[in-house]
Structure 1
Amino acid sequence: MNMFALIASFGGGIIGAYMGALPAFILTGVVAIAGAAVSMAGGADLTVGFVAFGSYLGPHIAFAGGVAAAAYAARNKKLGDGTDILSCLNGLSDPATLVVGGIFGVLGFLIHYVLGSVLHLNTDLPGCTVIISGIIARLVFGTSGLLGKAPAGQVRAYFTRGKGMVCNILLGLGIGTASGFVYQALADTGASAAVLGSYPVLCFGIAAVSLIFTQTGFAMPGTHHIALISALAAVTSANPVMGTVFGILASLFGDFVGKTFNSHCDSHIDPPAFTIFVFTFIINLLFGTGFFSV
């Protein structure tokens, strides 16, 4: 365990709290694009591992810290809604809220370490950690229970229906096809394994940065789970069609998770993170790398 990175994770959690979870995550996407572009151009990059997915802006640290801080602030009547991942919590002028972010940053680092270095799970460790951290934050600071409760007389929906479902299918189809067949175009140029390996990170980063439109009030959906999973499926299987297939599946599964865990609740459990870690497991199983890393 890198003790410097552990100490830094406290600061990363505070960054997620004072910026807000989503603004911090958007910056994760910016750094991911830069690092992936450098790697795909043949350069040496350390920013993806140490900054975008490390103790500075790693989703399991900064984003998760922001999520927990929002849940804490709402529990203490300092924030109107514990599911609010857009607000910069520095505006609350509450030191305890920032400290909670820091504590969950450290917790995220430790969970990530156990999952990867002790259990050797062969999945997306930041995504898995974000979910575990979000569940802990809900159980500690929330009052709605893990799944929440639909109001009397209202039936819980587990999928968006009608035209909304069609749009979700088309969203997965579009992103999955673009991600999968651009992979094939790259592969046909004779691109190296290192270049192709960085390609899913680039797709993830582009989708993460697109959330700046969500932050500014437009109807932009989260799509980083679709972009990452479709690109990963195409690269891992060496089949662009798998990008399309997994793009659609990831879109529908993300909608299911959102309806299941984020309806009638008072904190945020991240549907894209849930989708990413589940489907990374599936891709690793289907295409030969298994559930556990060596």
Structure 2
Amino acid sequence: MSVTDSPAARLQALFEGHRLTPTQRRIAHSMVRRAADVPFLSSVELAELAGVSQPSVTRFAVALGFDGYPALRRHLREVAPAEPAAEAGAHNEYQQAVEAEIENLRHLAEALADPAPVQRAGGILAGSRPLLVLGLRAAAAQAHGFAYFAAKVHPDVRLLGEGGTMLQDRIDAAVRAGASALLCFALPRHPREVVGTLAYAKEAGLTVVTVADSAFAPVAKVSDLLLPAAVGTGLAFDTACAPMLLGRVLLEAMCDDLPQAQSRLEEFDTKAAARGLFVD
């Protein structure tokens, strides 16, 4: 089976072109995350998985053009056949969390089979002087990590890692300095402030590139280019291996569009050695 024929890819194609409510986007996101299991779930089980009511699942199926959830499930069994997932009882809860993250990384690998969106994003980010990087609350670590490494190859990276009324001031200052793009990391739970900040950035003329946990995340409507990478939800706090890795892939794509990236890295290594920064 090719990556474009995977259950997750077929589900994504099923949802495209439909205007979904936030609740329906949550259902769609849950279905993509559990693409192999969905054709075998009842409407009650899917509702529990997505954290919504059973009638919401029925309305979701109707919104997709089906008579009800049974018709949607029959369709899924026809177009996205898959074997039920192996019983989780063979692993403890920590192992299950790791296995879930491995599956998220597999889905990311499938998405990257078409490198065009990431390459486009890399070019957008490389061309922005300065480059703004936004990440609040759960996404702050992802934004900080990207900005740390990006600053080694990009001439002017400005991290927006704390919320507040000065966010818009800093966007205005960056636009005056010549910024053309903003990279946002957006992970659940999504702060309302992030959605408002991205809307402001677009109004200011910036191209917004977003790494989010789902193509149906609340930030999708205020992003020019959204790159999804699922988070793990098996532990008390979400895990974000796939978004972190996607951020590193974006760095690589950005470096490909920065002619002086390699020379900047070599210059840093020379200075680091002279200063004795590292022990290895």
User: Same fold, TM exceeding 0.5?
Assistant: no
Question: Which of structures 1 and 2 has the bigger CA Rg?
Answer: 2
TM-score bucket of the superposed structures, by smaller chain: under 0.3
* Structure (1 or 2) with the greater helix fraction: 1
* Structure (1 or 2) with the greater strand fraction: 2
Q: TM-score, normalised by structure 1?
A: 0.24
Higher relative contact order at CA 8 Å, sep ≥6: structure 1 or structure 2?
1
